Amino acid sequence: MFSIEHEFDASVVTLVDEGAKHLQEDVIVQAFQDCVVVEQFDPRTDSVLRITLSLNQVRDLGAALNLPEGVYSLPKSEA
């Protein structure tokens, strides 16, 4: 399950892990104009883990999910 909210400065997607035992904490993806932030609470450390990706990294990740194993270089984006 997931939800999408459009806030003033970002679109926020929350991914909820549904299913069998050992569920993971919710993942929150915040898409800003110049970057994407991925957050997840870590109960072992009682803190939020945060990763910030540039828009080029997000584009490369999206492409990588649909490509076979290998090393690739996409044309540079204007973003």
Q: Is 29 contained in some domain?
A: yes
What domain count does the chain have? Answer: 1
Write out the two tokens for 44. Answer: 């072992």
Distance CA 34, CA 45 (A): 29
Distance CA 6, CA 62 (A): 21
pTM above 0.85, yes or no: no
Question: DSSP for 29-73?
Answer: EEE-SSEEEEEEEETTTTEEEEEEEEHHHHHHHHHHTTS-SS---
Q: Is 37 contained in some domain?
A: yes
Q: Is 32 contained in some domain?
A: yes
Q: Is 53 contained in some domain?
A: yes
Q: Is 79 contained in some domain?
A: no
Q: What domain range includes position 57?
A: 2-64
Residues paired with 13 in a beta bridge: 4, 29
Q: Is 78 contained in some domain?
A: no
Q: Is 55 contained in some domain?
A: yes
Could you read off the pLDDT of 2-60 as tens digits, one per residue?
Answer: 899 999 999 999 999 888 777 899 999 999 999 999 999 999 999 999 999 999 999 99
